[in-house]
Structure 1
Amino acid sequence: MSQTHQSTAMSVCPACEEPLEESDRFCGACGYDLSSAPGAATPDDRPTLTMTPAPEAAAAWPAAQEPDSSDTPAPVHQATDLEGIESGGGAPDPRTATPEQLEAATPAAGTKLCVACRAGQVDPDGYCENCGHAQPRERDHMEQELGAVAAVSDRGLRHHRNEDAFVISSAALPDGSAAVVALVCDGVSSATRPDDASLAATRAANESLHESLPRGTHPQQALHEAILAAAEAVNALAQEPATAREHQPHQNAPACTFVGSIVTRELLVVGWVGDSRAYWVPDDRTATAARLTEDDSWAAQMVAAGLMNEAEAYADERAHAITGWLGADAYELEPHTASFKPDRPGVVVVCTDGLWNYAESAEQMARAVPADAAGRPLHAAQVLTGHALDGGGHDNVTVAVLPFPGARQGAGSA
C-alpha cells in the first residue's frame, strides 16, 4: 500500500541496488545488513490521518439496500538459482568435507536450511543465520481458483515482500444455494508486521462469514460482522511479543485495509475499510461500469469536501494517505457496507491499490478486464495482475474476480 513516508538515508541497497523499504534492516534481495551501511537511518513513519464516519447499518434480510451514494490460498513457490553459490563460512563445505564432518553438521529433522549456502538455518524472519541471504517467500506469488471465483496476489516489482493477503470461498445459505466470497487485505507498510495483519484479517473475516451466512444472516450484516472480527484479529497482533528484528523505535501497531464481496444468485454485497476497492464490470461492455466503494483516504476527503476535483486530489503526493484501517491504533472502526441488485450479469473486481493505481476509474478497469472474465475468472485475475506489473508494479498487487450472479457456475465448498 502506498503511504506518505519520511525520507530515509538509503533508498536502495548499497550492495545490489535493490529498492528498500524504510523499515528494512536487511536487503530483501541479497540479505545485506543495512544497519552496518554508512549513513543508515532509523525509520520513524506513522499513519497520517484519523478515520471518517461510517454509513448506516444494513437492512433486514432478505430485503436489499440500495447502493450508498455518499482457507489461505495455495502458494506458488519461487525458484532460486543456486548455480555458483558456495557454502557459507561456519559450516563444512560439502564438496571437501568428510562424511563424519557432514554428519556432525547435519541439522535436526525439520530444520529449514538456507537455499543459498545450504548450511545455515533460517530464522523466523526468513533470513539465513549463516550467510544472511533472504529466503524465497511463499507469498511472493499466489493463485487460487474455486468454482466461480478466483484470485491472484503478487509481490510486484519494487517491494521486497508481499504484504497483501486474500481468501476466496463459498458458504451454504439456508435455501440450499451458495454465497461466493472474496476477501482482500493490504498491509499498511508503515506499520509493524503488515503481512501478518492482512493474513489474520482475511482468515478471521472468512471464519465469521462461514458461521453467520449458513444461519441466515443477511449478507450485508454478515460482512459487517466479519470486518469487526477481522479488526479484532489484527488488534490481537499488537499484544503479541515482537521478534528481535522488530525491536525498533518505529513500533506502529500491525494494520491493514480491508475489502470484501459476497455474491449470491440475486445480491451483490461489498464491505470495506481503507482504500482497497471493488468495481462492477457488466458483461455487456456498452453498459456502465461502476466503482462500488469509497476510499478512506486523504484524496477522497478533499474531493468530498469540495476542496479539489478528483484529478487534482489523486495527483497530490498525499493522495494515498489512508484515513481508515484495521489496527489497534485506529481511532474508531465503523465498517462501510452496501448491497446491490444488478439488472444484468457481470463480474465484481475486488483489489488493492496495487492494481487500481493502473486502472483507477471504472471505465479504465472495465477496459482492463477480459471480455470472458465471467467464464474464466482465474485468467481474468492473471490478466489484471499483468496489467499492474506492466504498468510498473510499484506495489503489491492482489485481485479477485467474482462473476454475478453467483449461480452461473457451480461454487465449490471452502
Structure 2
Amino acid sequence: MRRPPAEPTCPGCEEPLEPGDLFCGACGYDLSALAQPPVDHPTVAITVPPGTGAAVGPGTAPPPPAVRYDDPPRGAPAPGIDDFELAAPGPVPARPEAEPPPADPRSAAPGPAPAAGPAAKVCVACRTGRIDPDGYCENCGHAQPRERDHTEQELDAVAAVSDRGLRHHRNEDAFAVSAAALPDGSPAVVAIVCDGVSSATRPDEASAAAATAANEALLDALPRGTHPQQAMHEAIVAAAESVNLLAADPDQGPEHDPHRHTNAPACTLVGAIVASGLLVVGWVGDSRVYWVPDDRTAPPARLTEDDSWAAQMVAAGLMNEAEAYADERAHAITGWLGADAYELEPHTASFKPDRPGVVVVCTDGLWNYAEAAHEMALAAPADAAARPLHCAQVLVGHALDGGGHDNVTVAVLPFAVPEQGAGSAYGTA
C-alpha cells in the first residue's frame, strides 16, 4: 500500500525533519511558524492483486468488490449513447476546518535590491541571494519556484489552470487542452487532467507524459471519425503505455517484466470531450468531472466515480459517504497509470446534456474543497460558460483559499446544446 512518509517532513521541500528542528536543513524553512503539520491527502495507491479487484492493506475491512464500469475493449465498435440524466446532489461529508496555511514564499514582500546585475536571478524568499544552477538560493537555501508551479492555457472553447498549491514543494499535476475538426467539419474540444501519485517516483514526469500522450491520441483519432468514447478509451491506453515507458529498464532486455517495478512513476487521469452535441468522459483514479448547468436552478452532477478505497466502501454498503471520506484511508486509490499497476481498467461514459452548461475537469486538489456537485456549482462563477479561463482561475483560487493542501488543476469546457433539428455525427442530438 502506498502511503506518504510517516516521519515529519518540511512543508517547504518535504525533506525529513529531526525532532526539535527549528529550521529545515535542506531549504532553511522556518518551522517555528507551524503549530503542527498540516492535514494533507496526497494521491496514494493501494495495490490490487490481479484478478481479485480487492483493496489490500493493513487494517482494512473485508475487501468489497471493485467498482467496475462497462467499457468498450480496444478496437470494438463504437458504444451506444444513453440519454443524459442528472442525479440530485448527495449528502456532503463533514470536513475539519482547514488550518491557516504557512506564508507562501511566492508572495514574500520584496527586500533590498541585490548587488548582482539586472540579468541575475534573485531569490523569491529573501530577495537578496542569487540562484545556483540547481535552483536554490545561495543566501538562504530556499528552493525556487519551478516553471510548472503555475500554468494557464486558453483556447476558444476550453481553458485550464494548474497551480502548485500552498503546501507542496512542486506541481505534480499536468493538463492538456486542444481542439480538432471532425470529419464533418464540426469541432471537438478536449481536456485532459493528470495527477501524479505523490508516493511514487517522478510523479511530475508521469502526469506530463500521460497528459501529452492522451491528448495526441485524441487529436489523431477524432479527425479520422473514431467515436469519441472509443477514442477516449484508446487515449487512456496510450497514456498508460507512455507512463510505463518511464519505468523501462533497457538493461533488462525484452523479457523484462515491467510489473517488477515496486515504486514506478504513476499518475491518475481524467478527460472530457465535447463534440457534436455529445459529452464523453474517461478516467482512471480519483480525479473527477462535474457538470454545472448555466441555469443554476437545475441540478448539477458528478459524472465520474473514484477508483478509491472510500468509493469501494460506499459501493459495497460497508460505510456511508460521510464515514468513508472521514477515514484516513479515504484517498488511497485503487486504480492508476503506471508500470506497477496490476490491471488497467479505463472507465468511459457518454452523455447528451439537454441544456447549456460547463464541464469541470479537476484533480482532488480542487474537489477536496468542493466535493458535492452542488458545492462545485456554488464555487463556479455564474458566467463560467462565457469566461472559461476566469472560471478555472476562480476555482483554483477557491482551493487555495480553502488551504491549498495539494496541487490544483482545473479545466473548464463550455457545452452548448445544438440547435433544434441540427444533425449530429453520433446520432440525433
TM-score range, shorter chain: 0.7 to 0.9
Structure-1 separation of matches of 2:26 and 2:289 = 39
Aligned partner of 1:48: which letter?
I
Aligned with 1:344: secondary structure? coil
Which residue does 1:412 correspond to in 2? Answer: none
Which residue does 2:92 correspond to in 1? Answer: none
Structure-1 separation of matches of 2:175 and 2:276 = 23
Deviation readout 1:260-311 (Å, 9 max, x if unpaired): 0000131000000000000011111111111000000000000000000011
Structure-2 separation of matches of 1:203 and 1:130 = 37
Structure-2 separation of matches of 1:24 and 1:272 = 36
Structure-2 separation of matches of 1:156 and 1:406 = 35
Contact 1:269 1:337 survives alignment (8 Å): yes
Contact 1:294 1:300 survives alignment (8 Å): yes
Which residue does 1:33 correspond to in 2? Answer: 26
Which residue does 2:402 correspond to in 1? Answer: 391
Contact 2:44 2:198 survives alignment (8 Å): no
Which residue does 2:153 correspond to in 1? Answer: 144
Note the C-alpha offset of 1:240. 6.3
- Residue 382 of structure 2: which of 365, 368, 371 is its match? 371
- Residue 356 of structure 1: which of 354, 361, 367 is its match? 367
Which residue does 1:289 correspond to in 2? Answer: 300
Which residue does 2:329 correspond to in 1? Answer: 318
C-alpha change, 1:286 and 1:332, in structure 2 (3 Å) is same
Structure-1 separation of matches of 2:138 and 2:243 = 29
Which residue does 1:64 correspond to in 2? Answer: 81
Contact 1:24 1:34 survives alignment (8 Å): no
Q: Does 1:195 align with 2:185?
A: no
- Residue 14 of structure 2: which of 11, 21, 38 is its match? 21
Note the C-alpha offset of 1:405. 2.6
Aligned with 1:196: secondary structure? helix
Note the C-alpha offset of 1:334. 1.3
Aligned partner of 2:148: which letter?
R
The number of residues matched between the two structures is 347
Correspondence 1:115-264 to 2 at 5 A: 115-116=122-123, 121-123=132-134, 126-127=135-136, 132-239=141-248, 252-264=263-275
Which residue does 2:46 correspond to in 1? Answer: 48
Aligned with 2:412: secondary structure? strand
Which residue does 2:95 correspond to in 1? Answer: none
Contact 2:174 2:211 survives alignment (8 Å): yes
Contact 1:264 1:407 survives alignment (8 Å): no
Contact 1:220 1:269 survives alignment (8 Å): yes
Note the C-alpha offset of 1:53. 5.9
C-alpha change, 1:214 and 1:159, in structure 2 (3 Å) is same
Aligned with 2:381: secondary structure? coil
Structure-2 separation of matches of 1:264 and 1:19 = 42
Which residue does 1:108 correspond to in 2? Answer: none
Deviation readout 1:71-90 (Å, 9 max, x if unpaired): xxxxxxx6887845878xxx
C-alpha change, 1:391 and 1:53, in structure 2 (3 Å) is closer
- Greater shift, 231-240 or 256-265, is seen at 231-240
Correspondence 1:3-14 to 2 at 5 A: 4-8=3-7, 10-12=8-10
Structure-2 separation of matches of 1:145 and 1:370 = 17
Deviation readout 1:304-332 (Å, 9 max, x if unpaired): 00000011101111100000000111010
Structure-1 separation of matches of 2:275 and 2:154 = 18
Structure-1 separation of matches of 2:17 and 2:220 = 39
Note the C-alpha offset of 1:181. 0.5
Structure-2 separation of matches of 1:222 and 1:283 = 28
TM value normalised by structure 2: 0.73
Note the C-alpha offset of 1:32. 4.1
Structure-1 separation of matches of 2:296 and 2:131 = 55
Aligned with 1:214: secondary structure? helix
C-alpha change, 1:119 and 1:20, in structure 2 (3 Å) is closer
Aligned with 1:224: secondary structure? helix
Structure-1 separation of matches of 2:239 and 2:16 = 25
Note the C-alpha offset of 1:64. 2.1
Contact 1:220 1:337 survives alignment (8 Å): yes
Deviation readout 1:82-132 (Å, 9 max, x if unpaired): 845878xxxxxx69xxxxxxxxxxxxxxxx976448766423xx4469985
C-alpha change, 1:285 and 1:216, in structure 2 (3 Å) is same
- Note the residue ranges of structure 1 that are not aligned, 5 or more in a row: 13-17, 36-44, 70-77, 88-93, 96-111, 242-249, 409-414
Deviation readout 1:156-190 (Å, 9 max, x if unpaired): 11111111011111011001011000100001110
C-alpha change, 1:395 and 1:199, in structure 2 (3 Å) is same
Contact 1:267 1:339 survives alignment (8 Å): yes
Which residue does 1:309 correspond to in 2? Answer: 320
C-alpha change, 1:120 and 1:360, in structure 2 (3 Å) is closer
C-alpha change, 1:115 and 1:196, in structure 2 (3 Å) is farther
C-alpha change, 1:68 and 1:345, in structure 2 (3 Å) is closer
Structure-2 separation of matches of 1:67 and 1:173 = 22
RMSD after superposition: 3.3
Correspondence 1:89-100 to 2 at 5 A: none
